[in-house]
Chains A and B, each alone.
Chain A
Amino acid sequence: TQLLEQSPQFLSIQEGENLTVYCNSSSVFSSLQWYRQEPGEGPVLLVTVVTGGEVKKLKRLTFQFGDARKDSSLHITAAQPGDTGLYLCAGARGGGGNKLTFGTGTQLKVEL
């Protein structure tokens, strides 16, 4: 059972365009993380959001945690080829924590 659905699954855009990736679930999470993974490497953490409605910015990337803590979005402004990669959301259930449940992934390609 996949608890976190990401959309779109694939995205190919031109440099300079804006884009939004969505991460949705019917479950409530105590926190949600976004990772980026490049070919041949493990995922690397971009951000953690913990409060419903929270918005975090990381340069051209804006992350939002839904008010009900069931969904999140990642918005990239003026995408660059260096943003190319697999974007993964991951939710934690809390209560002392154990595993992170990862989303289905969004493969982004930014072309010149």
Chain B
Amino acid sequence: GAGVSQSPSNKVTEKGKDVELRCDPISGHTALYWYRQSLGQGLEFLIYFQGNSAPDKSGLPSDRFSAERTGGSVSTLTIQRTQQEDSAVYLCASSLGSVDTGELFFGEGSRLTVL
């Protein structure tokens, strides 16, 4: 596709339910990132995938959060037993390679509201 695609754009769920957020990166981009953003704030790193290497999961806030990337393309972020503090915009980004001099291309985000 032309850009990074995320779905759903909005998700309202009840506390305790599981949610899945999907990211379809730009074709050919080997790196994929998930960030979380609270209203008007900076971005909090969650997880990073680079090619076939083991993902960098150092930003995942708890074991309720997990992510996978199938076939080096589409990624799914799963939040189990959601809590109200999980409410945020979840942003996915992809890049051609290292971020040292490269550019991250972001999707429009998935806004999660936990009631």
Contact = CB atoms under 8 A, between A and B. Distances in A.
Interface of A: 2, 4, 6, 30-31, 33, 35, 40-45, 48, 50, 86, 88, 90, 92, 94, 96-105, 107
A109 B8 CA distance: 29
Given A42-B4, A103-B42, A105-B40, A97 B108 contact: no
A44 to B, nearest CB: 7
Interface residues of B, number: 28
B40 A86 contact: yes
Given A42-B4, A102-B45, A31 B109 contact: no
Nearest to B58: A99
B100 interface: yes
Interface of B (DSSP majority class): loop
Nearest to A5: B42
Interface of B: 4, 33, 35, 40-45, 48, 50, 56, 59, 91, 93, 97-109
A31 B97 CA distance: 14
Contacts, number: 78
A49 to B, nearest CB: 10
A90 B59 CA distance: 16
B59 A99 contact: yes
B107 to A, nearest CB: 5
A97 B103 CA distance: 12
A101 B45 CA distance: 7
Contact of A100 (B97, B99, B108): B99
B43 A43 contact: yes
Contacts of B103: 33, 45, 48
Residue from A6, A45, A97 with most neighbouring chain B CB atoms (10 Å): A97
Contacts of A100: 33, 45, 99, 104
B42 A31 contact: no
Residue from A41, A100, A104, A105 with most neighbouring chain B CB atoms (10 Å): A100
Given A42-B107, A43-B91, 7 more contacts: A41-B108, A41-B109, A42-B91, A88-B43, A98-B99, A100-B99, A104-B41
